[in-house]
């Protein structure tokens, strides 16, 4: 598949999975990764004729926003956003160079801020955090259609 935008690769691999990867500097507006997610989902709908509910599209965009924002806040330097179609889900994955794993705080309606991972976990069918050789990767799977 053609290069989608500068710094972004979108492709279908030999195994048939559809994915997008894009690197973002911590100075770029959050609208850019959200826009990449919107474009990826639009391609799933129009080019690949896959059902993507409006709710799922909103959740993917929200999860992208939360994970990229967390990366920028806690890990100086670039981050890598990867979106991969896996069966009936889109896996949203964000890598950054900070090896410290995020803490998921218990729900607290009186706490101001630090609800990002709480929101991501509520939206996702699956959630995982992995330490990598350099940094970490946070991944959330969002169903393409409503249950």
Domains, the chain, in order of start with CATH, read 8-143 (3.30.565.10)
Rg (CA), the chain: 15
State how far the Cα of 144 lies from the Cα of 77, in Å rounded to an integer. Answer: 31
CB 52 within 8 A of CB 144: yes
pLDDT at 79 over 80: yes
Q: Which residue has the higher pLDDT, 111 or 79?
A: 79
Lateral strand order in the sheet of 136-143 = 8-12, 18-24, 79-86, 89-96, 136-143, 126-131
Residue 119, SS3? helix
Average pLDDT over residues 114-136: 92
Q: Which pLDDT tens digit goes with each residue over 5-60?
A: 445 565 555 456 799 999 999 888 889 999 999 999 999 999 999 999 999 999 99
Q: What DSSP element (H or E) covers 129?
A: strand 126-131
CA 38-44-45 angle, to 5 degrees, is 90
Percent of the chain with pLDDT over 70: 89
């Amino acid at each position: 598949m053609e290069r989608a935008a500068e710094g972004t690769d979108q492709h279908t691999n030999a195994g048939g999975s559809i994915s997008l990867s894009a690197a973002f500097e911590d100075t770029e507006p959050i609208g850019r990764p959200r826009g990449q997610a919107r474009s990826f989902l639009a391609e799933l709908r129009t080019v690949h004729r896959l059902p993507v509910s409006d709710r799922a599209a909103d959740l993917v965009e929200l999860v992208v926003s939360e994970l990229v924002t967390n990366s920028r806040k806690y890990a100086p330097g670039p981050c890598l956003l990867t979106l991969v179609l896996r069966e009936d889900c889109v896996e949203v994955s964000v890598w950054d160079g900070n090896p410290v794993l995020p803490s998921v705080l218990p729900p607290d309606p009186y706490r101001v801020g630090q609800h990002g991972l709480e929101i991501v976990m509520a939206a996702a069918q699956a959630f995982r955090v992995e330490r990598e050789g350099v940094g970490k990767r946070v991944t959330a799977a969002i169903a393409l259609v409503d249950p």
